[in-house]
Structure formats: structure tokens, C-alpha cells
Chain A
């Protein structure tokens, strides 16, 4: 049995050594939001966070997440919509939608380290995520929109703190 944290809950699973995290998520734990696209870390459809960093679950052996914290699309909003998910809805980003979990996970990792990403930052963070339907223009728009929302939220939180302190 192997223990790790998944979307803030600790659990233990049994799996053959070397089984990629993707198949434990999908076939063992029945969390289907994370997708298979290539099996070789070429398309990003399986992107999840391990300790906050974006990784390709299709090539990550399950034993390497032992004791670590995994977040999937099901957990990214922590029970609510993540600002990126809200921005994704407003821009009507998805077409077929299959790659979008991975897109949002990569974008979330970008915004966690860069509150105001420019086009070049977005290119660098997102170039590992293929979208066969070609939604890139709207992905770019939604990431910028979400970054504004996050900064507005942060500013509002600061204001509140200021008022409380006054």
C-alpha cells in the first residue's frame, strides 16, 4: 500500500510498481477528469500538480508520489470554481474539451508563481499542452482574465485587512 494526499485527503492505494499515476487516478480511484492523450508526456492532457508543480501523470510512476500531495482538476477549486475555471467559462474556451483539464492545471501552476503573466510567459508555461481544436486564443484570454481576477481578489483582501487594522 502506498500513501499520498489527493485533493487534500490522505489515502492509500495498491498498484503495481511503475504504474503511472494517471492510471491509478482513473482506473483505481475513478477520478476521470485527468485524461490520457499520448502516454509519453507530449500533450499535457494528463497534467496534475504534485506539491504544487505541474507534472505529466502519464509518465509519473505511482511510487514517486508516496507521501506527497497531488491535486487534480477535481480538487483545483477546493469545492468552488477556481478563478481560472470561471474565466474559462466566461471566454467559452473549450471546444471538444478533452484537453482542458490539463490546460487549466498548467495555467493554475503558472498563476501560482506569476500573478501577471505576459504572452511570452504564457507561451512558455502552456506550450506543453496541446489543443487539437485550436482554442489557444481563448486560453490566452482566459489566463489574462483570471490573473486580473486573482489580483483584484488579493487587493480586496488587503483592503479588508487594512480596514480591520484601522
Chain B
């Protein structure tokens, strides 16, 4: 931290609270740019403490977790810290790959150290300031509940009273951190700071932004992926009340009106034509065939470890199976939305985004404005799941605002959200495994065929015929040292996206369902078979043992009940799940899911439990019935009637336990998804004797 910034800190100490945000509704977390004592904390002379947090709150409780880390180290109740987010991306808020994004289950694991250090820096200068004022050595003082207090005495001063003196002191790059014995906030369940606003209707999501003079935009986009607008007749909506503009945007238009309902009615009625494309007859059948064809002959190699080919050839027994997963979409409860006010020299955006630097790049590309000319207010996200990482909604809102000359809030209808892509990729996998004479895995060869997920992002490079996204949870499989992995890329016209645990959710299914096929060939129990392979993977073993104990795996189930298990490592954590189901009218009814997670250390155990509960519900809906089939180049799903998340009467009982093995912090938002599908199909095999090698399950039963 430079002395200039510290001077700013002193000068603006009280003034920053006066920042006016036009139209800011109550409890919005809109940030000011003033810094101090560092990028993540602002302490004002009136004692107010504000955290400027690097990631969005989209439901995982990340803000609360980050406040716990700051509060514990600083010496203040996390609930007493106000939350803001920076108004544009800059280095302190960027992840190691150089972008500010709320992705990859990084919210806690990547920010724990920087936030802890920031709070320790602030605490250290506050203690030093008090030490100087009182003439008492700093090591006889401590920070508690927003005050510096004398350990064995009655001296006590609020942080605010020390701010001016503390701001003049140099900040240490290596401040002393509180010892473990003083960590009494992290590791304990703490109520989420965003809950009160989310139960009384005052929480401001992207849909709820209200800027004076604002108009509303609804979209009409090409139903065929890859098509562009060939023309539209503005007169066709001339008689529609309230319509202010029809604005061309990439592959569609935004209709702007004084209410969203009026905009939507006009957008639906607009006479619009789209270009013909090479995709006009594209279908899922064709895509599936192309992926399977991609596995013929030699598939481009990704990695070779040990002597996979020779050992497979010499195995006592080999097993081969081909699996496939469909496109999935995100259906965030809050559809894509962005409010933009494009002015001559700058642009102001209010949006629920996971991709702050992607929005910045979109502004640069569309308007030619550098970062400094963008002001980005981050609202709560009504779900993200990877979908809100992209910039197309910001582009639509900026163009609509520029055309209308006023702020415009563009919101997609549910049908737009389901049909306009950024899907989890399709993928086909052929797996071959060899067993030795003792029934242990001698070698595996896995071949993927399908689109590279990373093609969506500029910063992801393709190496050895794949990108790091597409092979997640395979390159580090725990089962054999003799391993070969291939990937044949397939170009598809649909935009692709991270989707909660994206490739790990696909590869975890392939690998862990296939593991049960190998266990069956070896004549072994699925838990015993895995255990025998986890000798050098203590985290896998620990969560497997825990979930076996939780589900009483050794004990027989009641008549008609069936069980399956799976273990997947992803995002730095390892999760085991056991699914218990019974069949009713030929369909599975999932009754109980047991979950054990090793995420290093649970910062807020209550949030970890919530994320595992939510992952089970989402993973189950996806595995049971979700897919976006393609026909005539268009998505064949539209709304919650044909793409239905799980409902309350379908929700199984879920038991969650955290296992701590001393591993580094791992992610929590995503790792609960990958084991669910394989545990489910493994249980289904026990019930039906049939392997489910293509998801969703429902398709196999129709």
C-alpha cells in the first residue's frame, strides 16, 4: 500500500460514507472506490467498518464466509462489517489467472489468505496506534469487538478513534496472524449476513434495480444457434403502447418500452427474420453420432502415464463401456438481466455478474471504453451456477441504452434463458479398464469425444489436444498409475459454459459409474473395491469410510431398497455420496443421500452443509431428467414444465458430515455435484441389473 493511498484514506475517512448512488435501493452493496487501509477494508472515524469483497454473493454464503475471515483476524463481529464490492475489476480482486470472477469454487479457498492478511495489517496498525497513545507495549494489547483493549487492564478504545493515527503508520507486508487458539469464528456455524434481506423482500437482485428514468428491454433472439438477424419490420409493433425503440443486437433485437410486460408483448409480436445457417437441420442424434464417430481410429492423446497400453493388453480381464451426457442449462431462478446507462463518455452498469473482467472486456469491445470509464454495480445474484459469467446481456443492455438515450434494464424471459445456450457441453466417453489376477485395476484408457469447454474463454489454451476444463477429475484419477487419456474435439454452434462443476460432473459420472462395472467384473463390493485402491489417497479413503459408516453400508437394506456409492475429487475437495432408493412403478424414488466432504477446513460449517444439500438436489434433478435436446438447430426445451428442477415432494433426506484430514482449503460450491449421478446409477444397477450409460435416467425408461 503506497503512502499516497494512505493519505487518501485519512482525507476521505469520513467522506466516503456520503457517496451517493442514484436509485440505490436499501441494502444494496454498492461500493465506493476509496481505499484504506487496504483494498479489502475501510475503517472510518465513526467506527464503521466496510469490507470491499472480491466475489459476488450468488447463494453460497461466500460474503459471510469472507466476513468471518476478516472479522476473526481484525477482532470484530462479522455481522458488524458492511459489505461493498469494487466498482470495477482491478488487481487486488483478481484471481491468479488475472481476472476478477466469482467462479471455480474459489470464493473462500483463494481469498482466505489475502483477506486474513488484510485484516491482520489493519489490526497491527490499530494496536500500534493504541500502544503509542497509551505508552503500553503492543503485545499487551489485543483487538476485540471493534476495540483495542488492554489484556490485563481496563484501557479500551474503539477502532474509529484510532483510525487517524493508525493511517499514518506503515502497513506490514508480513503482519503477524492470530494463532489458532484465537480462531473462534471460522470453523463455527455463523448466520448468513444476507438472510434477513432475503426473507423480507428487500434484497436487491439484478431484476430489482431501479434507476430514475429507466426503461425496460425484452429480447427476441434467433431460435437457431448461429443465425443472425436478416431483417425486421419496426412498423409491426408501431401500435404497441409504451414502445420506445427496437434495437438490433447480435443475433436478435431488444425491444425497449416503459414496462417489461409491454416490451415483452411487442418483442413477441415483432415481425423478424433470421438468416439461414448450416445448422438449420442439426439434431442431437447427429451430434451424438459425431461424438461416437470421433472415437473411431486413433483419438488425439492428452496424457500417458506408466504402461497403460501394455498392461491393458496383458490384463486378466478387461471391461469396456461407452457413456454419454447431454447439454444441460442453468435455469438460475433469476434470469439474465442487466441495467445499463450508456453515456457519451462512460457507462454505468447494474448487474448480477460472476464475470467482472468479462463485463469489462465486453465494454471495451462494444463501446470502446477503457476500464476507468465503466462503473459496475454488482447486485445479489439470483443464482449463477456459471451462467452469469458471460457478457452478452451487458452488451444488449448497453446497446439498448445507447439507442434509447436512457438507462435500460434488459431481462430475458425464462424461454430465452432455456433456449439461448451457454450450455454444459455434451460429451461421449469410452472407458477401458484392465483387472489383474488379484482383481485390482491394472490400467485404464479413457477417451473423450466432444466439445472443449474452454473454447468459450480467451484465456484458456488448448494443450495436448484438450483444455484443462475438459479433463478435470480425470487427469488426477486415484485408481491406477497406468493411465492413458485422449480427447477428440467437436465444434458445436451452441455457446458453452461452466455449469456447476462442469467437466467434473461429466467425468465424475463416467469414471465412478465405470468403477462399479470394474468392481462387478472383479466380483467385489463397490466400497471394498474402491478402498483397495485408495492406499495412497487418504482423503478419498476418509470420505468413503465416513459415508460407508453414515449409510451403514455393511448392513443389509430393507426389502426393495438399493444403494450406490461414488467418490469424486474436484475443486480441491473430495466428496463421497451414497444414494439409497427404491423403485416405484419402474421409476426410482430416491429416499436418502449421505454426503461426506473433505474441504480441508469448513470455514462456515452451516454453509458447507447448505451447499451439499443444494448439490444433491441439483445433481439429482440433472441426472434424473435434465437435458436440452437439439432438433432443427434449436433447443427443444423452454421452461420449468419440460426442464423442471426437483420439487419439495421429490427431495430426499440428506445427511452431511465434514471430514477434516489436514488438507489445504478446498472448494465447496461445486464438489457436491459430481458424485451424485454415478452414485444414483450405481444404485439403479443394484435395483434393475441395468447400467445407465447415458444421462438423463428418465430417457432410459421412456
Contact = CB atoms under 8 A, between A and B. Distances in A.
Do these two chains interact? yes
B654 interface: yes
A127 B645 CA distance: 11
| Most chain A CB atoms below 10 A, which of B197, B616, B639 | B639
28 contacts: A16-B241, A16-B262, A27-B216, A35-B207, A36-B260, A37-B334, A40-B640, A42-B640, A77-B200, A81-B199, A92-B192, A94-B194, A95-B60, A96-B58, A96-B384, A97-B197, A122-B648, A123-B648, A127-B647, A130-B640, A130-B647, A131-B617, A131-B648, A133-B618, A134-B618, A134-B646, A137-B651, A138-B613
A23 B260 contact: yes
Interface string B587-613: 000000000000000000010001001
A100 to B, nearest CB: 5
Given A74-B200, A89-B196, A137 B413 contact: no
Contact of A89 (B25, B191, B208, B648): B191
B59 A96 contact: yes
Interface string B317-361: 000000000000001111100000000000000000000000000
A139 B646 CA distance: 14
A102 B258 CA distance: 25
Interface in B640-655: 640-641, 644-649, 651, 653-654
B76 interface: no
A64 interface: no
Interface in A67-106: 72-74, 77, 81, 85, 88-89, 92-101, 104
Contacts of B413: 39
Interface stretch (B82-90, B93-101, B375-383, B468-476): B375-383
A43 B640 contact: yes
Contact of B261 (A27, A74, A122, A127): A27
B68 to A, nearest CB: 14
| Most chain B CB atoms below 10 A, which of A34, A37, A95, A129 | A95
B201 interface: yes
B35 interface: no
Contacts of B261: 16, 19-20, 23, 27
A127 B201 contact: no
Interface string B617-638: 1100000000000000000000
B236 interface: no
A38 B414 contact: yes
Given A36-B411, A94-B194, A136 B201 contact: no
A104 to B, nearest CB: 6
Interface string B165-203: 000000000000000000000000001101111111111
A37 B333 contact: yes
B200 A85 contact: yes
A55 interface: no
B696 to A, nearest CB: 17
A94 to B, nearest CB: 4
Contacts of A122: 648
A133 B648 contact: no
Contact of B195 (A30, A36, A94): A94
B509 interface: no
A30 to B, nearest CB: 6
Contact of A134 (B25, B60, B191, B613): B613
B450 interface: no
| Most chain A CB atoms below 10 A, which of B199, B260, B331, B645 | B199
A140 B200 contact: no
A73 B613 contact: no
A85 B614 contact: no
A129 B210 CA distance: 26
Given A32-B208, A85-B199, 16 more contacts: A19-B259, A30-B210, A32-B201, A32-B207, A32-B210, A40-B641, A73-B201, A81-B200, A85-B200, A93-B195, A94-B198, A96-B382, A96-B383, A100-B199, A131-B333, A134-B615
A93 B210 contact: no
A117 interface: no
B198 A97 contact: yes
B71 interface: no
B205 interface: yes
Interface string A107-125: 0000000000000001110
A8 interface: no
A97 B197 CA distance: 9
Interface string A35-57: 11111101101000000000000
Nearest to B647: A127
Contacts of A101: 201
A95 B61 contact: yes
A139 B334 contact: no
Given A27-B259, A77-B200, A134-B615, A36 B194 contact: no
Contacts of B646: 134, 136
Minimum-distance CB pairs A-B, first 8? A33-B201, A134-B617, A98-B382, A97-B198, A96-B59, A95-B59, A134-B614, A123-B649
Nearest to A97: B198
A95 B63 CA distance: 12
Contact of A133 (B59, B644, B653, B654): B59
A163 B335 CA distance: 54
A111 B357 CA distance: 46
B640 A97 contact: no
B199 A132 contact: no
Contacts of B194: 94, 97
A38 B613 CA distance: 24
Contacts of A33: 200-202
B204 interface: yes
Given A16-B241, A35-B382, A92 B195 contact: yes
A126 interface: yes
Interface string B207-238: 11010000010000000000000000000000
Contacts of A133: 59, 333, 383, 614, 617-618
Contacts of A40: 414, 639-641
| Most chain A CB atoms below 10 A, which of B192, B207, B261 | B261
A94 B205 CA distance: 14
Contacts of A37: 333-335, 414, 640
A49 B332 CA distance: 25
A136 B381 CA distance: 19
A134 B616 contact: yes
Given A92-B606, A134-B616, A34 B414 contact: no
A37 B59 CA distance: 16
Interface string B57-71: 011110000000000
Contacts of B653: 137
Contacts of B381: 96
Contacts of A98: 205, 332-334, 382-383
Nearest to A75: B201
B213 to A, nearest CB: 14
A5 interface: no
Contacts of B208: 32
Given A32-B207, A73-B200, A98-B334, A135 B192 contact: no
Contacts of B647: 127, 130
Contacts of A35: 205, 207, 333-334, 382
